[in-house]
Amino acid sequence: MSPWRSDEERLLRYFNYVERTLEKMRLKPSQRFRSQVEAIIDNAKRYYKDARHYARLGDYSTSYVCVAYCEGLLDCLKYLGLMEVEGEVVVERRKKVMVAGVFDIIHPGHIFLISKAAELGDVVVVVARDSTVQRLKGRRPVVPEVQRLEVVKNIKGVKEAVLGNEGEDMLKIVEELRPDVIMLGPNQDFDEEKLRKGLEERGLRIEVVRLKELYEAYKLCSTTKIIKEILTREDLQKLVVELNRQGSCSS
């Protein structure tokens, strides 16, 4: 059910918002861009005038379109910091911080990296595809990509998690996500300057930071260490043999 009692009431809310914005606005552009911003304001006012005109005629659909264009122009100016409205609470947009990795066997090092990224903004995690891990590391991940993605999605501090793209273009997913910051782990094999140059060549203005602190609070703080521990444990080797024997008997 619509929260509005009528089309007129809904439009009136739009009109009140636009009128208040136009009345209380204060432009903040540099002198260089002031004329362009003023031209945008003039266009917004024209759309608002048209919206009022069509509302009087009872053409509410066209009126909605016009006032929506007007509202969009004003909101863009506020978002870009070119205009502020007196008395309006400004909510600063949080940065989008991208973290990428295999996230094969989740351990405290992964949690530490994500928690540090979350201090900078909203964390979006790119989970490497199985084919990408095979190509770069010469082995398949222990845990399949869909399962790794599901685990990462549920880690505290992760705003969004997606699978990376297949193929050798590592920056394609960056173009799609458009983060403000890319955080690299202390052991991730990336040349920071080469990465920055690649981003600039694609017109991407993204800050690249590397987490300097290596998390070593526990013995098994890497996937490699966990795998080595499993392979060297005689009790676990016996368990694997027993599980294989049971599987052979049931087949």
Tell me the per-residue pLDDT of 118-157, one tens digit each, with 9 for 90 and over: 999 999 999 999 999 999 888 899 999 999 999 999 999 9
Choice between 137 and 183, residue whose per-residue pLDDT is larger: 183
CA–CA separation, 67 vs 16, rounded Å?
A: 11
- Look at the chain and report how many structural domains it folds into: 3
**187 located within any domain:** yes
109 and 49 share a domain? no
CA–CA separation, 27 vs 21, rounded Å?
A: 11
Cα dist from 122 to 148, 158, 181, 200, whole Å? 20, 7, 10, 23
Choice between 73 and 30, residue whose per-residue pLDDT is larger: 73
Residue 4 in this model has a pLDDT that exceeds 70: no
**Which of 20, 52, 85 finishes a domain?**
85
| Predicted confidence (pLDDT) per residue in 85-130, tens digit | 887 655 567 899 999 999 999 999 999 999 999 999 999 999 999 9
**91 located within any domain:** no
208 and 110 share a domain? yes
Cβ atoms of 83 and 26 closer than 8 Å: yes
In 57-188, at which residue ranges do the beta strands (DSSP E only) sit? 83-85, 96-101, 122-127, 158-163, 181-184
**90 located within any domain:** no
36 and 103 share a domain? no
Q: How many other β-carbons are positioned within 10 Å of the β-carbon of residue 238?
A: 10
75 and 160 share a domain? no
**1 located within any domain:** no
Q: What is the CATH number of the domain that holds 79?
A: 1.20.1270.90
Full domain range(s) for residue 228: 223-251
Rg (CA), the chain: 27
123 and 162 share a domain? yes
Q: What is the mean pLDDT of the chain?
A: 88
**67 located within any domain:** yes
100 and 213 share a domain? yes
Q: Tell me what percent of the residues of the chain surpass a pLDDT of 90.
A: 53
Residue 5 in this model has a pLDDT that exceeds 60: no
